[in-house]
Structure 1
């Protein structure tokens, strides 16, 4: 159910040791650690966490924060409910405060004192839920989005359910008929575009303006009405948005659109998935810009995903695990590190958050302060380096790496050696041997490509690797501006002028997705699109075209407005 501040409250009938939230709450008396939930959590977390808990200086009503050990979360919160409903309620509030201070998004809380503590489940449920209600309605929560109350016994679960239904009777309740995996939200299909946008139409159709005309004669009044109508219509404009332009709008986008329509007094019609917006020019342009901005955001996300996947094939950033094994970082972290975009935290494959020191090639865990080494591997064109290897040059087929005694790899080899040999180990080396007969032949054939063929293919190779680039503008034509040109029809691009045939007669073309946005007529010397209006020079058109009535050519001036959806397309010239 959704409670105060938009926080999702979930009642989970299950085992808290299955949770993978940012923080997990353990209930204990700080004396005996082999009872109930405490025993289960410490069994997973390990001896180090238990030792830290035994050495803790507990203060009544406080939340003790420890490392998570082997438990799959960031930290463990340890609390003592003291079999007191008031204390339990205050502890829940403090747990929420701690989550906010750490920047956590989700927390799992057991039924404090309902098990080994011996309190009545109904009393515990009331105390915990009051704490949740007070914390979520009193604080301005910026981080916490999910609170999971994990209840192991069915009578406790039913007591919590009954109390929650009464306390949050006005909340939006989502009943789940099948068991959920821990911290995995079931994906819901988004409502259709027509259903979302209907609220925009309903809010605008009733808007009207009323004018009263006074004059000396009917002729004067009719003339004034006609003149005002003509002046108004001269300032009006209509724009129709297709379904594919609207399908990615979020519910927040629709709410913003509704507010803009009401503010600008626009008229909106929805028909078969298309949206027609009519009204004064300035208001319609603002709607176009809002929808275009949303499309830009979606395109940027698609481009980012494509970049991450492409980089992941070529470069591997790794972190040294606590057991001495190199672990590869996920695609998003890999991309951020490669582009030195580490102002925030990097998340590893287990969900742990780290801060980075790239000059030292070292990472520090955000919670706990443990440090770990970093490594960057750049794969060879024809060989993917194992994670435990060091980098190799493109022309290397054999590399010898001397291991340090402090290396886990060194210790593993030495221990295996010393089990059966009593002699002294002087040196351990890793042999990195790449069998590369065929790949080397391929590289040689590339280096022997003729000069003319290489010049013709430079643009295509650049597009395949990095996308479109305006620096190549002007090599063929700039009739409508000095940008990147995209033809609507393939036969235009397939002309030998624009797609030069190779020696075997084949040509290389790209199918591209282009964000055209609001466009206008192009001119030869344009370096950027012209302003939409003279009054607002900073608001420019998104692209230009060869003709306004039926464009056959679009020109864009930002590289991130387009990307090739098909990396390359080989076409036989005779088939065009």
Structure 2
């Protein structure tokens, strides 16, 4: 239906619809300027959405100012309903390198999405149109970055256990040239897992010949060179516990314990005395056998004992939800896998309780669809501890190894390194 208004009474109202969340200057923040290492403190904002110069102008023709304002209000409402501000918690945002950080910034800049890096909370906050946010692989970028940080942490610890080197030759004779920690870690993991060859870009390690060989035979830029493996820590420290079941070539196994087994009874007694709930029924107990994780734990223990003789607690509890169990069993207590309940009262680390009754609470050991809860009985390297606080991301000034709720009588321990605790047993229980 077309309405021809009276010429004398017709008025045209133009509304400029724009949204700006910043009064800052219009200086462009391009990715090239972010290549300098960040301070990783406070907030860093990148306004690719708020500062965009693209605007939309709508000319609204109506019979009255009230009608024009109503139409403009509806357009504004539609606009704001499509602007979203999701946030994503990370574990190690302050440890992201420039490549990881710029991968996120570049993806956001391309589709005009604001980014705030909140290093105080290890949180990424985005702002933009919903359709643009959906085009960013945010979860994949965060997952890849966190996994890379996690691998580098393991690599640093592995470099204190084992060092692989090239045997180069100069005028003085044979010279050992160590591989960098990340390459060293990848070579060692391939060696442990019996991978026949380990690619290193244009070369690979042939473990049968103990040589680094070029991928293309005869490549003059990468002549064959012998390699050497040196075990820094005594092999005794790396041996699996004697009571573990034989694992063959496997690096990981979950071993169910039989109820009439003394080991089962020992774990059951510790649980019963600590959970203090007679109505709780144990469904099963499984021993966690993770060779790589245990070796890393023992290496850190050997290092810590040089500073703190009594550095270990052997009976600590950690409650978690069902979907986090596999990550903990495989990779240890990385906060990405260990429950996600966002406990931060005593520090931003992984929490362990001296009493199973605390960890068994549904806030931590959440019931699954069958009403079952999951707790780990752990040993942890608490070392020298200090009273924690909610903003603590690492033990203060590297003087302390962990945080607690009460220095004189700790009921809660908080650790900040992935291999600082080992999950010895998984206990699955439910209410009778």
Task: Normalising by structure 1, report the TM-score.
Answer: 0.32
RCO comparison, higher one (Cα < 8 Å, 6+): 2
> Which protein has the bigger helix share?
1
Task: Normalising by structure 2, report the TM-score.
Answer: 0.40
